[in-house]
Amino acid sequence: MRASRLLSLPAAALLLTLGAGIATAQAPIKLGDINTYSGIGAPFTGPYRQGVEMAVEEINARGGVLGRKIEVLFRDDKAQPAEAVKHAQELVESDKVAMITGSFLSNVGLAVSDWAKQNKSMFLASESLTEALTWSKGHDYAVRLRPNTYEQGRMLADKAGKMKYVKWATIGPNYEYGKRAWETFRDRLKELKPDVQMVGEHWPTLGKIEPGPLVTAILNENPDALYVSLFGSDWLAFVREAQKRGLFQKMFVVGILLGEPEYIDPLKLEAPEGMLVTGYPWYDVKTAGHQEWVARYIKRGDKTPVLGSIIGYITYLSVAEAIKKAGSTETPKLVAAFKGLKVETPMGPIMFRAADGQSTMGAWVGTTKLDPQRGVGVMVNHEYVPGEKVLPTEDEAKKLRPAN
């Protein structure tokens, strides 16, 4: 009697686990992506979503993660942090997602991150670039994929510091991204080249640029070089006026993010040549598996990729790796899994650093040139700068974060 009971215990346990295994094999792992799918973010988040869906299809075709398929619920934050918080709550509490991903705008990313901290949910910020997310407002529940403003500014400054240009001006959108993009670049440039002078700063309202007067004002400051952190429609309108007023002939231009297909493709052959930019030359990246990825992406959606496409893809590769490493979808295990998580991506290997949750994904730095064949601007003489090269060390980064 006693013996048989003892025997039956493990058997029952085995049965239970098997049963649970079968039950969960049928239920997919749900994940939630909150992004600015309408309005100002739509040009970037559309391809991002394509990338996410492609990754999910491929992961599921390989049998999913932990024997379960994954399923992503997409929510539009309407560029409103409060709206994003609402979705986060619904996704976690009602839809029971394992973790949250996404966020395009910095303030949306910060709002979701703070909600995640308060509610002990895992959040992977994919696009938001503000340094605060992983440093001054950083915590265990938030990690970030893309190289932040600080890293990209530094990559550009490291190159610009070796050039002859002394008098610098800047133009950027009047919000945190623009200001920080300039400050990190400027500070690093001064370090490398103490004789540089700053001759002018221009901060048009985001999305409402009136470029003509700004171009004239910059021309009259007569700088050797101009640092641009405009993007989206502001950047496009600025280029058109700047071309007509001969700005690009009169000064060297450095543009953060402006080599990304998102920003350079809409300009077609009006794209300025010879700019130093960070970006993503998908047509020219030869890392293992990248060209195959591009081919699969084009085949799937009949469109060439932009940076958002591969960011969406890598976001979900990372999520899948994290769940695999955690062996679970429970938040504490995910938090632990993301510390030092290594992911093989079409861009090459990346790692989410244990100290600050910043991934070591880098960016390409190169020069713009027109490609008459495709009818768009491209990046040439580019070099991939990995995140490790421009990030503070993990010990330094730890000091940038509040004590938990």
Interaction of residue 222 with another protein, rule CB under 8 A? no
Residue 99 in 3-state DSSP?
coil
Q: Could you tell me which stretch among 146-154, 156-164, 217-225, 325-333 binds another protein (CB under 8 A)?
A: 217-225
Interaction of residue 203 with another protein, rule CB under 8 A? yes
Q: Could you tell me which stretch among 5-13, 265-273, 283-291, 383-391 binds another protein (CB under 8 A)?
A: 265-273
The residue (of 55 and 132) whose beta carbon lies closer to another protein is 132
The residue (of 37 and 185) whose beta carbon lies closer to another protein is 37
Interaction of residue 118 with another protein, rule CB under 8 A? yes
Interaction of residue 384 with another protein, rule CB under 8 A? no
Least separation, in Å, of the C-beta of 232 and another protein?
Answer: 6
Interaction of residue 142 with another protein, rule CB under 8 A? no
Q: Residue 148: name the closest of 123, 127, 178, 124 by CA.
A: 127
Interaction of residue 268 with another protein, rule CB under 8 A? yes
Q: Could you tell me which stretch among 90-98, 285-293, 319-327, 359-367 binds another protein (CB under 8 A)?
A: 90-98
CA 377, 263, 357, 322 torsion-angle sign:
negative
Tokens found for residue 376: 């768009």
Least separation, in Å, of the C-beta of 133 and another protein?
Answer: 9
Least separation, in Å, of the C-beta of 79 and another protein?
Answer: 8
The residue (of 144 and 382) whose beta carbon lies closer to another protein is 144
Name the strands in the sheet holding 167-171, side by side, starting at the edge strand that comes first in the sequence.
197-202, 167-171, 225-228, 252-259, 276-279, 363-371, 376-385
CA distance 137 to 402: 7
The residue (of 128 and 345) whose beta carbon lies closer to another protein is 128
Kindly give, in sequence order, each residue whose CB lies less than 8 Å from that of residue 162, ignoring residues fewer than 6 positions away: 192
Instruction: Select from 157, 189, 214, 361 the one that contacts another protein (CB under 8 A).
Output: 214
Considering only residues 272 through 331, tell me which ones interact with another protein, judged by CB under 8 A: none
CA distance 145 to 311: 8
Instruction: Select from 29, 132, 256, 285 the one that contacts another protein (CB under 8 A).
Output: 132
Interaction of residue 245 with another protein, rule CB under 8 A? yes
CA distance 80 to 36: 8
CA distance 294 to 266: 20
Q: Which residues in 134-179 belong to E strands, given as ranges?
A: 142-144, 167-171
Tokens found for residue 258: 């402006």
Residue 192 class from Cβ within 10 Å (0-12 exposed, 13-18 middle, 19+ buried)?
middle
CA distance 358 to 350: 10
Instruction: Select from 85, 142, 323, 391 the one that contacts another protein (CB under 8 A).
Output: 85
CA distance 377 to 367: 10
- Beta strands at 100-102 and 376-385: parallel, antiparallel or unpaired: unpaired
What is the total count of residues that contact another protein (CB under 8 A)?
Answer: 65
Residue 110 in 3-state DSSP?
helix
Interaction of residue 167 with another protein, rule CB under 8 A? no
CA distance 201 to 218: 9
Least separation, in Å, of the C-beta of 116 and another protein?
Answer: 10
The residue (of 85 and 254) whose beta carbon lies closer to another protein is 85
Residue 73 class from Cβ within 10 Å (0-12 exposed, 13-18 middle, 19+ buried)?
middle
CA distance 280 to 309: 11
Contact predicate 111/82, CB 8 Å: yes
Instruction: Select from 137, 296, 324, 333 the one that contacts another protein (CB under 8 A).
Output: 137
CA distance 57 to 51: 10
Interaction of residue 217 with another protein, rule CB under 8 A? yes
Least separation, in Å, of the C-beta of 271 and another protein?
Answer: 10
Instruction: Select from 28, 161, 212, 392 the one that contacts another protein (CB under 8 A).
Output: 212
Interaction of residue 225 with another protein, rule CB under 8 A? no
Residues near another protein (CB under 8 A) are 37-40, 42-43, 46, 74-76, 78-83, 85-87, 89-90, 93-94, 106-107, 110-111, 114-115, 117-118, 130, 132, 137, 174-176, 201-205, 207-208, 210, 212-214, 216-217, 219-220, 232-233, 236-237, 240-241, 244-246, 266-268, 270
